[in-house]
Structure 1
Amino acid sequence: MVRLGKKKALVAVEHSLMTAVWHMLANDTPYHDLGGDYYAKHDPERALRRITRQANALGLTVRFEPIAAP
């Protein structure tokens, strides 16, 4: 079995940076951060399932109700 060790996280960060640089150079665009809530906005149902699954793993029961529009 191969052990990647301490370099595994470093290689993952390097890969992310290289991917971002490649997209910027290929599309001739400046860097644009998608934001911390990109995936929650992109697929809110998936984010809701993830939050529910995490709460259930902690032994909690959750119920979500939509906020009434003002």
Structure 2
Amino acid sequence: MTAFGTAEKLASWAGVCPSNHESAGKRVAGKKRKGNPHVRRILCEAANAASRTRCLLREKFESLLVRRGRKWAIFALADKISKIVFVLLSRGDYYRDATIDYEALSVELPHAG
């Protein structure tokens, strides 16, 4: 992950970073984002799947959905996922969602005797 340096640079390389196109104080939309189309597609698929689960990412998706619409919310969630992936890979850590009780989900396996 040292090739990118920051999570924002990874998001930009993947083509999921937010863009800001203004001219004379007016926002201009509809510009195609540059970036790796394969990684962008995978991140959007992951964002679409995360929007249908009970997790912290779904809460973010629903708050964006009301204000911006589904397509924009999926793209913003893909940006967030790319930044999470960068942090996890650079730290060598696992993803642990704050809204999930992992201890309640753990199942004790019977001991073979």
Name the TM tier (shorter chain): 0.3 to 0.5
User: What's the TM-score once normalised by structure 2's chain length?
Assistant: 0.26
Q: Which has the larger radius of gyration?
A: 1
Higher relative contact order (CA 8 A, sep 6+): 2
- When the two structures are superposed, what TM-score results if normalisation uses the length of structure 1? 0.40
